[in-house]
Structure 1
Amino acid sequence: MNQDQDQPLTITPDALPEVITRYLKAHRAHDTAAAVTSFTDDATVIDDGRTYQGVAAIEAWLNRSATEFTYTIELTGAQRTDETHYVAVHHLEGDFPGGTVDLRYRFTLHGDAIGRLVIGP
């Protein structure tokens, strides 16, 4: 058995699936209406220890996160674990506590949409 089988493979950010790229672009632009279309109807987002289940909850989370703090976000890396699991690494700077952070956006795809997104260090 290959010990590296479950290890993420570093990829270029432009090799991320289209649905992830579309979501990240809409999120950076604070375009909640476009961002939410990237998710399945029963998707789950986990951010800052809180879980958001379903499109309505995710839309409310996106609206709040777009206005709660002012920040810049830069995509600095990407990884692929398998055909449905990807990680996008972002560097954020802004007026949130700490002022700077590197976050990993861990995506699970269901078909051509995002079924799960977990955001953390």
Structure 2
Amino acid sequence: MELPQLVARFVETLNTQDSKAYVELFTEDAIVHDEGKTHNGKQEILEWIEDANAKYESFMEPLQYEESASNGTLTANVSGTFPGSPIVLQFHLGFKDGLIDSFNVTG
């Protein structure tokens, strides 16, 4: 599956658990919603992804991608060290200035 460059990089940095490269894909004031919590700005996003990488060791296999205007939805099979693994999740992405400005995970 061919993904836009930013989305492909998003998948790559998650799969390699490169937290610093991952957070560079986000705007300074980006908002992330995951597991019932909200993370605002790059520092909180970095802390969240470092914690998630350590706890879950997630690996994402993209299944489908749809994009319209400044939003995209990536459906992926995600496996890791979490209960119920593997699971199909949707990653709702908002884009601004070539970066991710909002991110919401749904199951």
* Aligned partners of 1:43 and 1:116 also within 8 Å: yes
Q: Kindly tell me: are residues 71 and 21 of structure 1, through their superposed partners in 2, closer, same or farther at Cα, counting changes over 3 Å?
A: closer
Unaligned runs of at least 5 residues, structure 2: none
* Aligned counterpart, 1:120: 106
CA RMSD of aligned residues (A): 1.3
Residue 95 of structure 1 and its aligned partner are, at CA, apart by 2.7
Percent identity over paired residues = 22
* Aligned partners of 2:61 and 2:78 also within 8 Å: yes
Corresponding residue SS for 1:26: helix
* Aligned partners of 1:32 and 1:63 also within 8 Å: yes
Post-superposition CA distance 1:18-61 (Å, at most 9, x none): 22221221111101111111100000000111100000000001
Unaligned runs of at least 5 residues, structure 1: 1-12
Distance in 1 (alpha carbons) for counterparts of 2:70 and 2:47? 25
Corresponding residue SS for 1:90: strand
* Aligned counterpart, 2:54: 67
Whichever of the two has the greater Rg, that structure is 1
Size of the aligned set, in residue pairs, is: 107
Corresponding residue SS for 2:78: strand
Letter in 1 for 2:76: H
* Aligned counterpart, 1:47: 34
Q: Say which of 82, 97, 101 aligns to 1:111.
A: 97
Q: Say which of 5, 9, 15 aligns to 1:28.
A: 15
Distance in 2 (alpha carbons) for counterparts of 1:21 and 1:43? 19
- TM-score between the two structures when normalised by the length of structure 1: 0.81
Distance in 2 (alpha carbons) for counterparts of 1:93 and 1:70? 8
* Aligned partners of 1:94 and 1:100 also within 8 Å: yes
Q: Say which of 10, 18, 21 aligns to 2:5.
A: 18
